[in-house]
């Protein structure tokens, strides 16, 4: 099938499909006219990529997952390790974001938010040492 059909059926964009090919995540055949020709197997790979991306894997990590996926002598241990590593990373991001959220809430709470130029937010960002 043509690229736009493959894009639609996979839930990705044609641009993304070309990108994935350019970095050798998959290599669809070419028709006689030079058009990409995606097989059902290619489509499965695209679905795999989309799902893996959706849970946070980078394309490089997706590449590793695809290698495991295509390797019949793989060990499920290796796939699980990739998932757990990603989990650890996401938990770190969650901690960072929660800290930012807390700081932002304190900033917002400290500020009247009115027509006055006096602003505890700007004062706080400046470290309390600025004159304006």
| Burial of 59 per CB tally in 10 Å (0-12, 13-18, 19+) | middle
For position 70 contacting a second copy by CB under 8 A, the verdict is yes
Please report how close the Cβ of residue 37 comes to DNA at its closest, in angstroms.
8
Torsion of CA 55, 61, 67, 69, to 10 degrees: -10
Span near a second copy by CB under 8 A; candidates 1-9, 17-25, 26-34, 105-113: 105-113
Bridge partners (DSSP) of residue 36 are 30
For position 43 contacting DNA by CB under 7 A, the verdict is no
- Restricting to residues 8-37, name those near a second copy by CB under 8 A: none
For position 91 contacting DNA by CB under 7 A, the verdict is no
Bridge partners (DSSP) of residue 30 are 36
Angstrom distance (rounded) from CA 83 to CA 34: 38
Angstrom distance (rounded) from CA 56 to CA 86: 8
Residue ranges in contact with a second copy by CB under 8 A: 44, 47-48, 51-52, 54-56, 65, 68-77, 79-81, 83-84, 86-87, 90-91, 93-94, 97-98, 100-101, 103-105, 107-108, 111-122, 124-127, 129-130, 132
């Amino acid at each position: 099938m043509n690229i736009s059909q493959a894009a639609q059926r996979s839930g990705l964009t044609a641009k993304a499909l070309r990108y994935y090919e350019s970095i050798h995540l998959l290599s669809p055949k070419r028709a006689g006219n030079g058009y990409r020709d995606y097989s059902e197997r290619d489509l499965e790979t695209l679905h795999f990529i989309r799902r893996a991306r959706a849970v946070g894997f980078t394309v490089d990590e997706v590449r590793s997952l695809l290698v495991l996926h295509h390797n019949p002598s793989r060990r499920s241990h290796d796939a699980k390790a990739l998932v757990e590593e990603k989990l650890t990373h996401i938990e770190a991001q969650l901690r960072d974001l929660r800290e930012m959220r807390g700081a932002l809430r304190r900033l917002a709470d400290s500020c009247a938010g009115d027509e006055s130029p006096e602003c505890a937010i700007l004062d706080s960002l400046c470290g309390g040492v600025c004159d304006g």
